[in-house]
Amino acid sequence: MTRKWQILAQPDSDKSRILQDGLGLGPVTAGFLVQKGIDTVKAAEAFLNPSFDQLHDPNDFYQMDVAVERIQEAVFSGETILVYGDYDVDGLTSTTIMTEALTSLGADLVSYIPNRFTDGYGPNQATYERLIDETGASLIITVDNGVSGKEPIAWAKSQGVDVVVTDHHALPEELPDAVAVIHPRHPEGNYPFNDLSGAGVAFKVAQAVLQDGMPAESLADLPTEFFDLVAMGAIADVVSLTDENRAFVTWGLKEIEQNPRPGLAALLKSAKHAKDAPVLSETVGFKIAPRLNAIGRLGDGSLGLDLLRTKDEAKAKELAKQVEEINNQRRELADRVFEEAKEQALSPEQADQPVLLIAGEDWHQGVLGIAAARLTDVVAKPVVVMTKVDGLYKGSGRSYGDFDLHAFLADFQDDYASFGGHAGALGIAIDVDKLEKVRERVLAAGSGLTFDEEPLAVNLLMEPSMVTKDFYDQATLLEPFGQDNAQPVIGLKNVSLTNVQALGAEKKHLKISFNGGRGPVEALVFNDPALVKEAQGKREATMAGTVGVNTFAGRTRLQLMLADLKFSNEKKSSQMGQAEEKVASAASKIENHSQSKSQFSSTKADFARIYKYLYVHQEENVVDGLSQVLTDLTIQEIEFKLIIQVFLDLGFVKMETGRIRCLKQTEKRALTDSITYQRYFAG
């Protein structure tokens, strides 16, 4: 799991201080903001507290007026409208937004989630034919798809059925001949923000239709009941959490936390999300989204739509139970495919292949992308995982680093039955008898390719004593984390471990523990059985990861999700605390310090305050928790150590392996009896 680290430049202290003073921020929050390039009070305020002013007018979309007019005409004249969505989270939330918005206007409406295995992704002429015949729809509104549907949409038009496309995916060279194409990157448009999710685009259309094209003047004018759905779509589809997306996700997560839809409340409960735990972007990314995505991976995605739309708590509970069962099945299938595919990926036959084309016989199509993504971390190169279906190898590919896998494989598409996607992920189908030919072409074209592992960006190197709830609380102010707003990664070197434990029925997950500044901290690694085996008996490690919390049975504990971990059997040459040596050396170090004694202005009241603090905290390891102590006391490290030396001089305290014990006094002694006090604090 060992990776190279790239230690990011530390923030300018003057800029950090401006944010601390101007907004009352803690040093951790201010420092990370400056590190992100947010270094003015105005910019930081906008980032931390998104406002209505950061949203854009939906009428800025090219052809929005045309779309609104056609949709309203269909609604108010009683035409049947077909909302055609997609089976992933962004598609499910987009469909829910459009369906609920138009239903509120009294529309005669049918919503449809295509089946991954029978309908495929996006517009499908055969499916259009069937649905139009069954429903009599005269208007189709696509959500989270449509720009790639030139032929099916042209057919619909020839049958007298209009299509309004709402989408955010990569634009083809030629757009479909639809009534309107609502897209943030429309070649003839000028929308101010180009990275909305499908749910974000659907929200904008719903807003414009509900407001009859009139601009909103405040949050109260917006369909705020859809913020939760927009947030889920944005996080799950990994769009940029900047600009108006940051506002939508911030508000949407609060809505899920404080007033969740019955389906989401039931889904969170089945995912064992503590009732009093906050709902963060990772809650969507690791608990909600995988479960909703599992539905479409294994079967009929309409179950997800039913879950999001139901108002009945009993029905929500039953639907969530079904989703949980599907998700468990998805896990089992994904693990099986991954393990079997890994054997091929690590075989001698694949060693020289620059891009791995892994082919199985009876793997479930819905989990091939998951297996490909996991394999890229194992082999450090792009991977395509396929399974045999009706004489074809069909599958999904995932790239590695910033390599454009789609562009590379596109050169050989004359040998494919189908092909599509983007730089990082793609779908492909190859005739069984052409697979070896494609592998040979890939090998020849990629013989000179090398894939350097991207270094792990580490925001801050820390001592274990600095890992505290206060640090977490300050870092959490930067939420929601996601694309273009990465959660800060901390690095810890040569950490003494207090526990090493394998987790899970198959013992393939790892939990290690160490002492932080305010008690034990857990650190987790998932799906790495080799690392679990290596970890046994280890007592020291260097690690990097993100800080979170684990709330269980009413108890909250700090938790690191590790991105890198390396074990060592070496002992620390000098534990941060050989505390007695550190305190005793403070006076000698001051001789070369730029500060003069007049700058140490602690009064007798300050000495009393600090002694009282030590008395209350004498059972804690004050030295290992020094960073928090200095924060609590609002004092510089050098001055604090000199005060401790004064107490040692006078016999007020003694040092015990990092703890400072307060001693019972039999006689009164003046601070001036201490040589250290006379030298550095006396007037």
Q: Quick check: helix, strand or coil at residue 246?
A: helix
pLDDT for the residue numbered 553: 63
Helix (H, G, I), strand (E, B) or coil at 297: helix
CA distances from 681 to 102, 266, 443 (A): 74, 62, 74
Question: Do residues 234 and 284 touch, judged by C-beta distance below 8 A?
Answer: no
Residue with tokens 């020289």: 352
Which amino acid is present at 486?
A: A
With a threshold of 0.85, does the pTM exceed it?
no
Angle 159-90-148 (CA atoms, 0-180°, nearest 5)?
40
- Hey, which residues does 277 pair with through a beta bridge? none
pLDDT in tens, 306-361: 999 999 999 999 999 999 999 999 999 999 999 999 999 999 989 889 999 999 99
How much is the pLDDT for 596? 42
Q: What is the pLDDT of residues 390-410, one digit of tens each?
A: 899 999 999 998 889 999 999
Burial 524-562 (b: 16+ CB within 10 A, else e): bbebbeebbeebeeeebbbbbbbbbbeeeeeeebbbbbb
Judged by phi (left if over 0) then psi (alpha if -120 to 50, else beta), residue 90 lies in alpha
170 Cβ contact list (under 8 Å, min separation 6)? 147, 422
Could you read off the pLDDT of 153-185 as tens digits, one per residue? 999 999 999 999 999 988 888 999 999 999 999
In sequence order, what DSSP letters do the residues of 401-466 get, joined into one string? TT--HHHHHHTTGGGEEEEEE-SSEEEEEEEGGGHHHHHHHHHHHTTT---PPPPEEESEEE-GGG
Cβ-proximal residues to 581 (8 Å cutoff; 6+ apart), any chain: none
Residue 23: helix, strand or coil by DSSP?
Answer: helix
Beta carbons of 485 and 478 less than 8 angstroms apart: yes
Q: Is it the case that residue 574 has pLDDT exceeding 50?
A: no
Burial 483-511 (b: 16+ CB within 10 A, else e): bebebbbbbbbebebeebebeeeeebbbb
> Which of the given ranges, 112-126, 282-296, 602-616, has the highest pLDDT on average?
282-296
Tokens 């910019």 belong to 43
pLDDT 10s digits, 415-436: 999 888 778 888 899 999 999 9
